[in-house]
Structure 1
Amino acid sequence: MPPLLAATGVRKTYRTGAVEVTALRDLDLTVLPGELVGVMGPSGSGKTTLLNCLSGLDDIDAGRVEVEGRDLFAMSDAERTEHRARSMGFVFQAFNLIPVFSAAENVELPLMLTGTPPPTARARAVEMLARVGLADRVDHRPNELSGGEQQRVTIARALVARPAIVWADEPTGNLDTGMAGQVMDLLTGLNRDEGQTIVLVTHDEAIGRRLPRVVRMRDGRLVSDTRRADLEAVG
């Protein structure tokens, strides 16, 4: 099976005046279709930088990143933006919902930006909200929703374009334990039942124990790559 994501020799350096900080150091990572991969490590290890570079949100200084067989950094900015809109979904710690929009309007926005006809976009948004358990919250604005419900809206927005891969950066970071568990139930269920490929950054060891594969970072490098099946086989 060809990989959905293949990153080779990825290097990223931030420069501020004469100061250079290398955030990613010749990093390699492969993700197969249908995998749910956690990225873990201490603060400052490069987790969010890795996600941003693998998704093409940030440029890289060296290396190669392919998603669905296409080299992200061989594309023009416009091509990369279009590829991201059609093939990727994003879930962030901050919900990034538009306050004056309803849940349905927030979810349909990615479709509207790629030219989907409004009736089709609205129907897909309503369908997706139902899939994440918010069929009765379609017309609610973000300030009328709980934190867990807002994060469900962001997950619906990430999935509405039927992306090849979803990037989730600390998706439970702003939630209490109960709501965090519900969001993780949703994400792991989407992966298990629908084969949605997800790369998820987290610092929470309890979440890490729920994931089928965890890669760990330190000082901009991957230092381990563990699959739960391997641990269970050893056990």
Structure 2
Amino acid sequence: MDSRTQDGHRPLLAATGVRKVYRTGSVEVTALRDLDLTVQPGELVGVMGPSGSGKTTLLNCLSGLDDIDAGRVEVDGRDLFAMSDAARTEHRAHAMGFVFQAFNLIPVFSAAENVELPLLLTGTPPREARARATAMLERVGLGHRVGHRPSELSGGEQQRVTIARALVARPAVVWADEPTGNLDSAMADQVMDLLTTLNRDEGQTIVLVTHDEAIGRRLPRLVRMRDGRLVSDTRPRPPAGGTPRAELVG
């Protein structure tokens, strides 16, 4: 199966017929129902839907954190579920970055040490890892906080550290699951400003789950979920003279 589009370009993400079922004893709950989604390089895509609609499950399956029961997921040209667990973990380390609602920073590490950790785990020499971590912290506005531990940072600063950590390995895609969920509105705006700037200025591909309608309205593309399906795909920022497009996709 070739996931190239009609113009010959391969999407960064191509998910086809993805199905995920959770089983507890004799009880089965279908979390994703034959779901299709493509994301092109450089897109910023929001995923919204009511609680229990499958948003986080979708991110976990698209990134290979969770197994799937049917379908196919390609990220950066690789079929995730045709790989061994070890190969999928390695692919994730090199091609993906993660930002979660919980910051998941190591409390005894400084900001720089938290950011450089993914590089060290993939074999980057320590001096290069530290230089890249410091540069990325400067990029997210924390060049003056490189030596501070998480307890010495505000919530917004901690989330910017996690964004720096997600970006430091130059991933093909960043998955962000409720990245503003633990922040007040002012800090949430700062984090979203940073993510949209990174997408606009550097072409960073980002897939972002949110429950916040105000954030959804800021995004150049928004897909909505219900009962494990994608029910709409909207691009609310058309070119000049255009009109918003809403397309039923599943």
CA distance in 1, matches of 2:243, 2:123: 50
Aligned-residue RMSD, C-alpha: 1.0
Give the CA deviation at 1:2: 1.5
1:31-110 → structure 2 map (5 Å cutoff): 31-110=39-118
Corresponding position: 1:216 with 2:224: yes
CA distance in 2, matches of 1:146, 1:229: 32
1:43-192 → structure 2 map (5 Å cutoff): 43-192=51-200
**Helix, strand or coil at the partner of 1:149:** helix
Q: Which residue, out of 24, 30, 41, partners 2:32? A: 24
* One-letter amino acid of the counterpart of residue 195, structure 2: L
**Count of residue correspondences:** 235
| TM-score, normalisation: structure 2 | 0.93
In structure 2, what is the equivalent of residue 234 of structure 1?
A: 243
Q: Which runs of 5+ in 1 are unaligned?
A: none
In structure 1, what is the equivalent of residue 10 of structure 2?
A: 2
Give the CA deviation at 1:57: 0.2
Deviation digits for residues 124-157 of structure 1, max 9, x if unmatched?
Answer: 0000000000000000000000000000000000
**Helix, strand or coil at the partner of 1:229:** coil
> Between Structure 1 and Structure 2, which shows a larger proportion of helix residues?
1
Identity %: 86
**Helix, strand or coil at the partner of 2:195:** helix
Give the CA deviation at 1:229: 3.3
Corresponding position: 1:198 with 2:206: yes
* One-letter amino acid of the counterpart of residue 174, structure 1: N
**Helix, strand or coil at the partner of 2:66:** coil
Deviation digits for residues 94-153 of structure 1, max 9, x if unmatched?
Answer: 000000000000000000000000000000000000000000000000000000000000
Q: Which runs of 5+ in 2 are unaligned?
A: 1-8, 245-250
**Helix, strand or coil at the partner of 1:82:** helix
